[in-house]
């Protein structure tokens, strides 16, 4: 009974680890979605939308959807 919160924390950490590994193996020029960038940066999707609206994060709008180049996001992070 007392282990359940800890098991949930481990599962969340493993889920995040999976995403991080996918991003590390992703070619730098590959485009990411709002959801992928939010997971990569460990923020809410709403935060990404706000940053895009304010021009705080490098983004490309293609076919009505926002996309992000990982190499640009990594460079942006280095300059923050």
Phi-psi region of 63 (alpha: psi -120 to 50; beta: other; left: phi over 0): left
Sequence ranges of the domains in the chain: 4-78
Per-position pLDDT tens, the chain of length 80: 454 555 555 555 666 666 566 656 666 568 899 999 999 999 999 999 999 999 999 999 988 899 999 889 999 999 98
Q: Given this model, what pLDDT does residue 20 score?
A: 60
* Domain 4-78, architecture per CATH: Orthogonal Bundle (1.10)
Nearest to 62 by CA among 33, 29, 27, 26: 33
Q: Given this model, what pLDDT does residue 1 score?
A: 47
């Amino acid at each position: 009974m007392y282990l359940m919160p800890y098991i949930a924390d481990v599962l969340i950490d493993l889920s995040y680890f999976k995403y991080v590994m996918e991003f590390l193996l992703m070619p730098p020029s590959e485009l990411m979605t709002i959801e992928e960038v939010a997971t990569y940066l460990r923020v809410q999707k709403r935060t990404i939308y706000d940053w895009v609206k304010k021009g705080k994060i490098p983004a490309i709008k293609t076919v009505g959807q926002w996309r992000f180049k990982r190499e640009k996001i990594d460079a942006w992070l280095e300059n923050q």
